[in-house]
Amino acid sequence: MEDIDNIEEDEFGFSRNYFLAKELGGSSKRSARKLSDINLVDEQELRETAFNIETKHEKEIDELLNEYKTMYPKWVFELRCGFGLLMYGFGSKKGLIEDFASSSLTEYSVVVINGYLPSVNLKQVLLAIAELLSDQLKSRRKSSGSLSKGQETVPSRSVDDILSFINGSQSEDKDCFICVVVHNIDGPALRDPESQQTLAQLASCSNIRMIASIDHVNAPLLWDKKMVHKQFNWLWHHVPTFAPYKVEGVFFPLVLAQGSTAQTAKTAAIVLQSLTPNAQNVFKILADYQLSHPDEDGMPTEDLYSASRERFFVSSQVTLNSHLTEFKDHELVKTKRNSDGQECLNIPLSSDALRQLLLDLSQ
């Protein structure tokens, strides 16, 4: 009995001391420190340091990648059978998929979608695929002397019309298909249901084969049973590469990092380098105008069209509008009205960042 009483007394004493400590702690003076008081590292410096971290276990990783290369013929066979390939596992799979495409898919046309970008214009991607498929089928019919004719004009009104055109462009050759590579199909710009439905409908077309990668732990929740088994028709491949996400991580802010002019320009440069050379040249005209007219609201759209046409960067207003759509989708350009009511185009970057951007593009 004495032992039991001693145990109960010890427990009571522990409980009393716990609540006394809480009371004393609550009455103490709170710290006046703030998160804003932290001396943050410049983001460019932090990224350069992370970029230069020495890779460990290089020999083992090379052996792993060589093992994946032995699977390339199997992956091609699976594509020819009508399946889609979904790559998952720790590490960036961008290099692995690009190596597979460049070495084993040379007989096929390949279209790449960078899902890790801040925004992706799927309609423009679908138009490019439709035009590519149309040219491909025309050349095959011409070489075979076939008199059969399909729909020749690629529609550009709606996504549904373009998808119908792609799905309706049949070929007698079952191996006549386009490979669509989607790096990070679970990227921020593609996570909405509308984008995933569009990609699923594209993948279900008989002349399209899709190779994609995912990295988010909840990526499978983007799809329902029909999308997985009927439209994407995925074959899952666990291919951890342990490679750093150097390209994919550029667009994500680093913890305890301070944004810099150089980093802002670098991010914009990566986006622009994914566009066509003519689109880049149109952007340069706009940037030069903004730097030489810092007090204005922006460059009038009509003036940009005239300057771009004089230098043969665009052939019509439709072409310019296409480039401007790309810029706006990637948040590189904003529009506003000046005092005269004209629509003006403005690049939302400081003058220093804009100069750095032009320097990066010229290298």
Closest-CA residue to 268 (of 350, 188, 183, 343): 350
Find how far residue 313's CA is from the centre of its chain.
26
If you write DSSP's letter for every residue of 204-217 in order, what string do you get? TSTTEEEEEE---T
User: What's the pLDDT tens digit per position in 225-269?
Assistant: 999 999 999 999 999 999 988 888 776 655 444 555 555 676 777
d(CA 191, CA 199): 11
CATH T-level fold of 260-361? Arc Repressor Mutant, subunit A (1.10.10)
How far apart (Å, rounded) are the C-alpha atoms in residues 130 and 112?
Answer: 14
Phi, psi values for residue 66, rounded to 5°: -65, -35
d(CA 188, CA 220): 14
Confidence of residue 193 (pLDDT cuts 50, 70, 90): very high
Using alpha carbons, select from 307, 288, 290, 294 the residue that is nearest to residue 345: 290
How far is the C-alpha of 304 from the C-alpha of 10, rounded, in Å?
83
DSSP reduced 3-state for 299 = strand
What one-character-per-residue DSSP string does 81-134 give? TT-EEEEESSS--HHHHHHHHHHH-TTSEEEEEETTSS---HHHHHHHHHHHHH
Query: What pLDDT, in 10s, does the model give residues 260-287?
Result: 555 567 677 777 877 888 888 999 999 9
- What is the structure's pLDDT at 42? 66
Element (H, E) at 334: strand 334-337
- With a cut of 80, say whether residue 329 has pLDDT above it: no
Domain-by-domain residue ranges, the chain? 58-139+155-238, 260-361
pLDDT at 254: 53
The answer on pLDDT for 195 being more than 90 is yes
Q: Which residue type occupies 172?
A: E
- Judged on CB neighbours under 10 Å (0-12, 13-18, 19+), 345 is buried
Domain spanning 58-139+155-238: which superfamily?
A: P-loop containing nucleotide triphosphate hydrolases (3.40.50.300)
Residue 340: pLDDT above 90? no
Residue 275, pLDDT score: 80
**Is residue 179 within 8 Å of 211, Cβ to Cβ?**
yes
| Share of residues in the chain with pLDDT > 90 (%) | 34
Over range 127-139, report the average pLDDT.
83
Rg (CA), the chain: 28
What is the distance between the alpha carbons of residues 307 and 314, in angstroms, rounded to a whole number? Answer: 9
CA–CA dist 297, 133 (Å, integer) = 42
Q: Are 116 and 93 in contact (CB under 8 A)?
A: no
pLDDT at 35: 40
E runs forming strands in the chain: 41-42, 84-88, 109-114, 178-183, 208-213, 234-238, 257-258, 299-300, 334-337, 343-346
Q: Tell me which of 45-49, 54-58, 211-215 is least confident.
A: 45-49
Confidence class of residue 151 from pLDDT cuts 50, 70 and 90? low
Euclidean distance between CA atoms 87 and 239, whole angstroms: 6
100, β-bridge pairs:
none
pLDDT digits (tens, 9 = 90+) for 304-323: 999 999 998 888 888 888 88
The predicted pLDDT at position 121 comes to 87
User: If you average pLDDT over residues 334-363, what whole number do you get?
Assistant: 83
Which pLDDT value is given to residue 236? 96
Half-sphere exposure of residue 302, counting CA atoms within 13 Å on the CB side?
Answer: 4
Q: Pick the more confident residue, 357 or 78.
A: 78
Give kind and range of the element (H or E) at residue 234: strand 234-238
Record the tokens describing residue 11, joined without a space: 């427990």
Residue 117 has a pLDDT of: 86
CB burial readout 220-229, b (16+ within 10 A) else e: eebbeeebbe
CB 207 within 8 A of CB 176: yes
* Average per-residue pLDDT for the chain: 81
Which whole number is the average pLDDT over 52-62? 86
- Give me the mean pLDDT over the 118-141 stretch: 83
Band (159; pLDDT cuts 50, 70, 90): confident
Q: Which of 49-53, 66-70, 321-325 has the lowest mean pLDDT?
A: 49-53
Q: Which is more confident, 327 or 199?
A: 199
Q: Average of pLDDT values for 193-217? A: 93
> Average pLDDT for residues 93-115, to the nearest whole number?
93
| pLDDT value for 233 | 93
Is there a contact between 353 and 261 (Cβ–Cβ < 8 Å)? yes
Task: Report how far residue 245's alpha carbon sits from residue 96's, in angstroms, rounded to the nearest whole number.
Answer: 13
Range 203-208 average pLDDT: 91
